[in-house]
Structure 1
Amino acid sequence: MQNNQSRKLAQGAMMIALFTVLMAIIFYVPLAGFIAMLIAPLPIIWYSATYDRKSSILVTFIAVIITFFIGGLIILPASLIFAAAGMAIGDAIYNKRSKVFMFISTSIVLLITFAIQYLISLRLFEFDFINDSLVLMRKSYEESLDLVEKMTGQAPISKETLAEMFSVVEMTIPASITLAVFVFAFIFISINLPIVKRFKVDVPKFSSFSHLRLPRAVLWYYLITLTINLFVQPELGTSLYVVMINVSLILWVLLTLQGISVIHFTIDTFGLPRMLKVLSTIVAIPLYSFVILLGIIDLGFNIREYIQAKKQK
């Protein structure tokens, strides 16, 4: 018992030190920082996957505090994000959860962590980094347009169009952040789980992307959103308009993924070259309307059964 406790403490100290080193690399070694950023949650993942939740929370908390002492407030937000992601992924492994559960729980934890940091930044420090980023981006665009106009004598887009574009960007911030969080969660899981597996940790597996099937409820949400947009027609700038445009954006992305999954399934079913998967995914971006329609049809009528029946014939 004493040996197990000593091992737990020693390994906890090692993971804290490793996490601190990775965070230091991210902020002080620019070229290696990107790679360190991708595997930064790894020490917390391994420890949380090996030991109970109480010990994992303690190690995660100490790791964040230590990074604060080496980098101050500037390093704290990133440290919290990576530590929270590591804790969520590791805890899901320890409790034998599915990879889908791990993905959703990690995304939610990251979203909550980001929201808390944003509120603290806004309330305590009166610093709105989202709004400031938009202002900086808009200023950069305006300067670029002015430069192009001076060089060619004609502006690519009008100031009114630019204002409308940034108005839409500002209103879709909630959906954009949500989608970005899901992407980060997927990246962390995809990169770190194979590494953790090498340390003899039993990790869950995702089914093939070609077998991705969203809940049918997504189709109903899309139909409700479409009905509101067509018949209620919320006015630009109203709360309902902001909600609808954010929900629509998320649903478009989900249905696009569903449509691409159907294309991949068809390629696998008929034994076509795998390179077609890459090409079809690239082509799906400009043809997203067709791909969304394909995703809707698959959710509503399960066209994969028809594809399989065609293959058997």
Structure 2
Amino acid sequence: MQDNARKITYGAMMIALFAILLAVSLYTPFLGNVTMFFIALPIILYRLKYDRNSSLLTLAAGIVLSLLIGGILLVPIAFVHGILGFIIGETIVRGKSKLYIFMASGLTLLITGMGVYVGAVLFFGFNMIDALMTVMEETKEQMKSFMANYGGVPDGYDEVVTSTFQMYEYTIPSIFIISIFMLAFILLTLNLGVAKRLGFEVPKFPPFREMKLPMIAVILYGAILLITLFAGVKPGTNLYLITVNATTVLRFLFLLQGVSLIHYYVNEMKLPKVATVVATIFALMLAPITTMLGILDTGVNLRAWLRKDKSK
């Protein structure tokens, strides 16, 4: 009886905290930008403490309460963060590695985010991509008008800007996926940090310098480049959309691999931590070179050469 009373009391506290974080995130301009990252925390904490069925009931109650507090507008946010919190808590309880939890969290955000997008299109007639392209088109016209008033519009302005916008439109799927997984990493890092502070045992990521992409990534990247060069891929076709989005994702991964290699080198040289920060800034500023380093490190294992040079 006492255990059930504690479970109900703790559940009520987490439901209230979940609703408060949702309301603050939606209605408070500056504080809401911070609390938005911790909406999933009450569900994570409850799942770490109690069983799966009770956690699902708490999640459902939190979503219903969000509907009562903020109306239909809060429900998609509550649904996405609630499911994410449950998945994070569930994978921790099952003893999964932090990398596994990260991938599960990213996929959860990706699937629920796509569900919210489809729901917004079907039920509210709101297409985020069309709205974004409309804003970009308006920005292009405003810039054109500004340049016409102050010095004239450069030759080929419309063609260059239109082709750039088309490229952004084509790469929206890959940019969406990258952004989702970056958000998952941030949410996971912040929420598990708080859970650890509260006394819960949570897994850790291995050091970033130990990141190593599989060799298949280089093979896949090379195959995409060959297809692009020799298959006559035309913009707007399905093959073009696949290759350009796959290339965007792979280049981002190789950029991370290159930064990881630089972190590894700084660590091997026993340089101070500030050197890692400075090196990372320069690596991001010189992204094409860093990406090439990532490709080489994945394909020929530059770290082995660095270790060999150090041992001499």
C-alpha distance in structure 1 between counterparts of 2:117 and 2:84, whole Å: 17
Gaps of 5+ in 1: none
SS of residue matched to 1:271 = coil
Aligned length: 312
Matched, 1:249 2:248: yes
Q: Name whichever of 234-243 and 282-291 sits farther off.
A: 282-291
Q: Which residue of structure 1 lines up, in the alignment, with residue 171 of structure 2?
A: 172
CA distance in 2 between partners of 1:260 and 1:22 (Å): 35
Separation of aligned partners in 1, 2:267 and 2:155: 43
Q: SS in structure 2 opposite 1:207?
A: coil
In 2, the alpha carbon distance for the partners of 1:140 and 1:154 equals: 15
Task: Return 101-110 or 80-89, whichever deviates more.
Answer: 80-89
Task: Tell me how far 1:52 sits from its aligned partner.
Answer: 2.4
Mapped partners of 1:232, 1:295: distance in 2: 26
Distance across 2 between alignment mates of 1:210 and 1:233 = 39
CA deviation after TM superposition for structure 1 residue 180, in Å: 0.7
**Counterparts of residues 111-190 of structure 1 (less than 5 Å):** 111-155=110-154, 158-190=157-189
| Percent identity of equivalent pairs | 33
Aligned counterpart, 1:44 = 43
Give the Cα–Cα distance (whole angstroms) in 2 for the partners of residues 155 and 84 of structure 1.
50
Residue aligning to 1:238: 237
Provide the rounded CA distance (Å) in 2 between the counterparts of 1:223 and 1:58: 48
**Which residue number in structure 1 is paired with residue 205 of structure 2?**
206
Sort the Cα spacing of 1:21 and 1:144 in 2 relative to 1 into closer, same or farther, 3 A: same
The corresponding residue for 2:90 is 91
Distance 1:54 1:155 in 2: 63
Residue 129 of structure 1 deviates from its aligned partner by 2.1
Shift of 1:285: 2.8
Range moving further from structure 2, 132-141 or 258-267: 132-141
Q: For residues 180-232 of structure 1, what are the alpha-carbon distances to aligned partners after superposition, in whole Å with 9 as ceiling and x for unaligned?
A: 10011000011111110122111000011111112222222212212211221
Give the drift of 1:157. Answer: 6.8
Deviation for aligned residue 1:275: 2.1
- State the Cα deviation string for residues 97-124 of structure 1 (Å, max 9, x = none): 1000000000000000011111112222
Q: Distance in 1 between matches of 2:80 and 2:296?
A: 38
In structure 1, the residue matched to 2:25 is 26
User: Which stretch has the larger CA shift, 53-62 or 184-193?
Assistant: 53-62
Report the RMSD for the aligned CA atoms in angstroms.
Answer: 1.6
What residue number does 2:268 align with? Answer: 269
Tell me the TM-score normalised to structure 2 length.
0.95
- Whether the 8 Å CA contact 1:85–1:185 is kept in 2: the answer is no
Q: Distance in 1 between matches of 2:155 and 2:51?
A: 58
CA distance in 1, matches of 2:154, 2:85: 47
The one-letter code matched in structure 2 to 1:172 is T
- CA drift of 1:147 comes to 1.8
State the Cα deviation string for residues 119-178 of structure 1 (Å, max 9, x = none).
Answer: 112222222122112212321232133123313334597112111111111111110110
1:289 CA drift (Å): 2.3
Whole-angstrom CA distance in 2 between matches of 1:102 and 1:86: 11
Structure 2: 5+ residue runs without aligned partners? none
Q: What is the match of residue 70 of structure 1?
A: 69
Compute the displacement of 1:281 (Å). Answer: 1.9
Amino acid paired to 1:198:
R
2:6 matched to which residue of 1?
7
Contact 1:39 1:188 in 2 (8 A): yes
In 2, are the aligned partners of 1:175 and 1:250 still within 8 Å (CA)? yes
Whole-angstrom distance in 2 between the partners of 1:13 and 1:214: 44
* Structure 1 SS opposite 2:150: helix
What amino acid sits opposite 1:256 in the alignment? Answer: L
Instruction: Name segments (4+ residues, structure 1) moved above 6 Å.
Output: none
**Counterpart of 2:283?**
284
Q: Could you tell which deviates more after superposition, 202-211 or 218-227? A: 218-227
**Does the 8 A contact of 2:144 with 2:153 survive in 1?**
no
| Alpha-carbon distance in structure 2 between the residues aligned to 1:121 and 1:190 | 29
Q: Which moved more, 1:68-77 or 1:145-154?
A: 145-154
Residue 36 of structure 1: how far off its partner (Å): 0.7
Match of 2:34, as an amino acid?
I
Relative to structure 1, is the Cα distance of residues 312 and 163 closer, same or farther in structure 2, using a 3 angstrom cutoff?
same
Cα distance in 1 between the residues matched to 2:79 and 2:143: 35
Counterpart for residue 58 of structure 1: 57
Aligned-residue offset at 1:94? 1.2
Q: Residue in 2 aligned with 1:308?
A: 307
Taking the aligned partners of 1:157 and 1:142, their CA distance within structure 2 comes to 14
Q: Deviations over 1:2-51 (max 9, x none)?
A: 22222222111111100100111111111211111122211111112222
Counterpart CA distance in 1 for 2:199 and 2:108 is: 26
Q: Secondary structure at the match of 1:285?
A: helix
